[in-house]
Amino acid sequence: MPKISFETRGNSLGVNEDVNGAQRKFPHMPIGQAVDMGFTSEGVPLIDPRIFDSGEFGRNPYPYYRILRDHYPVYYDQLHNCYFVTRYDDITESYFDEIGFNTIPKGSSSGVLGNTQLELSGIEHRRRRNIYGRHLVGAALTKRLHALEQIADELISEWWLSANPKEVLINNETGTATIELGKAFANEFPISVVAQVLGIPQEARQQFTWWYDAMMSGLGGSETHHEGLEARQDLEEYVEDLVDQKRNAPTYLTDEAGNNICLDIISELCNSEIDGDVMSTEEITSFIALVVGGGGETTRGAIMNLWYLLLQHPNQFKAVRSDSGLWDTAFHEMLRHSTSIGGQPRHNTNDLTLHGVHIPAGSLIHMVDVSANHDDRIFANPEDFNIFREDLYSGKILRSGHAKEGKCSHMAFGVGPHLCPGAWISQQETVIGSKILDKTLGNVRINYERMPKDIDGVSLAPIGLGSIRELWLDFDLPN
């Protein structure tokens, strides 16, 4: 195997010695402790960039981000040829500098999702975002909250069907039921909401769910990438016919009384012009894919992580159940503690020097939101899940601000021009869905026997990066 060498560059350190290969097995450490990768002569811990590809980092990332924040706030990863920016204040400043940090690298969202607006900046980004953004915030969303409640109630009602499509395990002797929350609710609820807001006909909702699953599974270089591409093509062929219909006969979203509120998103896109031209079917499909990705997977992870954390903190869960207003607070603290959104890549427009590290123009820079959320310069005891913390802003999500009332917001949705347009609807889906679940899940508790375990074979597996994939719950059967 050829030898490669990771060496210093600026103030960013790799492993300053020859090592064999670009892969290395790292032992799994207790949560919160980092693998010893050596120290400089001044006693500064070294970082082996191969740690970022390891299972240890995926389950236990925060001690490594702490090393980066404390010693290498701008870290040049020579192995992957990119830079990591990990402190809250630096990331915030970069997000608001739309000229200096020019969105994500071109082509990063292509493939399964197609070329999306994530790759655009300035006026081009704003014009496209404004076409559909109003559907996901403000009055248009408030008037449609009844639809979220209806979808949630319908999904839960399926738990008791004789065909048992959600695979609920019922024990009449003990009067208990067991569900896997993802399959029973969280996987389908957000994508059903997204399909409705987009204007996907009811008869195509099941197929739409399959497109979503395949496309999300096919992101990146995974083994399912080919299936994701096929789903993307299948979706585009379906959308082509749907676009033809809605160009001539647009359809509307309605309030609880059945009154038209506004055009659904696809109808809006079909009848919108950019630079005097109507949008192509491919452009519309890319919009749909982007909304599907952001509105589906993000909310699925939010629901799963929220319940996983609350059930492991019974006093906080009791407080939330006693005061329904705390569901919103718990949602924000969950995103700060364990967001399923890792961060956003950027390209720098010009040469720059940050914390003494020179970054050439056009470099790939990862703004590590999950690290910012655990920056103890901003949040006290950041590894603790605490819905009562006094340093987290948990009010209305604002694109223009990150510090309100003397508190800082989490970075799960970013800040600035590229704040996730689905942030508000994701919050409403998670909170409304959780409140309705709470009414059904009497005396709910985690089924430890069925849950994945950590390295000791006893403790529940940590969330780590991303979101948990399954959550088994026991609860008392309703009367």
Predicted confidence (pLDDT) per residue in 247-256, tens digit: 889 988 887 8
pLDDT at residue 108, as a whole number: 44
Binning pLDDT at 50, 70 and 90, where does residue 266 land? confident
pLDDT value for 426:
83
Supply the pLDDT for residue 363. 93
Residues in the chain: 479
Q: Does residue 75 lie within any of the structural domains?
A: no
Band (223; pLDDT cuts 50, 70, 90): low
Task: For residue 214, give the 3-state DSSP assignment.
Answer: helix
Band of pLDDT at residue 474, cut at 50, 70 and 90: very high
Residue 57 has a pLDDT of 96
CA dist., res. 314 & res. 312, Å (int): 6
Range of the domain at 446: 112-341+383-476
Nearest to 339 by CA among 351, 348, 331, 328: 331
Please tell me the distance from the alpha carbon of residue 79 to that of residue 83, in angstroms, as a whole number. Answer: 11
Interatomic CA distance for residues 54 and 108, integer angstroms: 22
pLDDT at residue number 131: 56
Distances (CA, A) of 44 to 27, 31, 70: 21, 21, 10
- Assess if residue 88 is contained within a domain: no
CA distances from 166 to 153, 183, 443 (A): 14, 6, 20
Q: What is the CATH number of the domain that holds 143?
A: 1.10.630.10
* Three-state SS letters, the chain: CCEEEECCECCECCCEEEEECCCCCCCCCCCCCCCCCCECCCCCECCCHHHHHCHHHHHCCHHHHHHHHHHCCEEEECCCCEEEECCHHHHHHHHHCCCCECCCCCCCCCCCCCCCHHHCCHHHHHHHHHHHHHHHCHHHHHCCHHHHHHHHHHHHHHHHCCCCCCCCEEECCCCEEEEEHHHHHHCCHHHHHHHHHHCCCHHHHHHHHHHHHHHHHCCCCCCCHHHHHHHHHHHHHHHHHHHHHHHHCCCEEECCCCCEEEECHHHHHHCCEECCEECCHHHHHHHHHHHHHHHHHHHHHHHHHHHHHHHCCHHHHHHHHHCCCHHHHHHHHHHHHHCCCCCEEEEECCCEEECCEEECCCCEEEECHHHHCCCCCCCCCCCCCCCCCCCECCCCCCCCCCEECCEECCCCCCCHHHCCCCHHHHHHHHHHHHHHHHHHCEEEEECHHHCCECCCCCCECCCCCCCCCCCEEEEECCC
Confidence of residue 1 (pLDDT cuts 50, 70, 90): very low
In a domain, 95, yes or no: no
Q: What are phi and psi of 182, to 5 degrees?
A: -65, -55
Task: Identify the DSSP state of 224.
Answer: T
N- to C-terminal Cα separation, the chain: 65
C-alpha 185/C-alpha 472 separation (Å) is: 12
Instruction: Tell me whether residue 105 is in a domain.
Output: no
Q: Does residue 301 sit within a domain? A: yes
φ, ψ at 353 (rounded to 5°): -125, 125
Tell me the torsion sign for CA atoms 61, 67, 72, 78. Answer: negative
pLDDT band at 144 (very low <50, low <70, confident <90, very high): low
239 or 290, which is more confident: 239
CB atoms within 10 A of CB 332: 20
According to the model, what pLDDT value does residue 36 have? Answer: 96
Q: Give the model's pLDDT for residue 372.
A: 95
| Confidence bin at 297 (pLDDT 50/70/90) | confident
Place of tokens 């103030």: 11
Q: Are strands 260-263 and 252-254 parallel, antiparallel or unpaired?
A: antiparallel
- What's the Cα-to-Cα distance from 20 to each of 6, 36, 52, 76, 172, rounded to whole Å? 11, 18, 17, 20, 58
Task: List the structure tokens of 344.
Answer: 């956003």
Mean pLDDT of the chain: 83
pLDDT tens profile 82-117? 999 999 999 999 988 888 887 655 444 445 555 544
Question: CA angle 470-149-204, nearest 5°?
Answer: 75
- Please indicate, yes or no, if residue 450 is contained in any of the structural domains: yes
296-322 burial string, b = 16+ CB within 10 Å, else e?
bbbbbbbbbbbbbbbbebeebbebbee
475 or 427, higher pLDDT: 475
- From residue 90, alpha-carbon distances to 45, 132, 362 in Å are 22, 30, 18
Share of the chain above pLDDT 90, in %: 49
Per mean pLDDT, which range of 140-154, 279-293, 418-432 is the poorest? 279-293
pLDDT tens per residue across span 268-289: 888 777 666 777 777 777 777 7
Q: What is the DSSP letter of 325?
A: T
Higher pLDDT, 309 or 419: 309
Task: Record the tokens describing residue 116, joined without a space.
Answer: 């999306």
| Domain assignment present for 55 | no
pLDDT tens digits, one per residue of 342-380: 788 888 999 999 999 999 999 999 999 999 999 999 999
Number of structural domains (the chain) is 1
Residues 6+ apart with CB under 8 A from 406: none
Helix (H, G, I), strand (E, B) or coil at 23: coil
367 located within any domain: no
> What value does the mean pLDDT take over residues 198-208?
79
Span 304-322, average pLDDT? 97
Q: Which of 117, 208, 167, 189 is nearest to 417 (CA)?
A: 117
> Which of the listed ranges 194-203, 237-246, 412-421, 468-477 does the model predict with the highest average pLDDT?
468-477
Q: Is the pLDDT of residue 6 over 90?
A: no
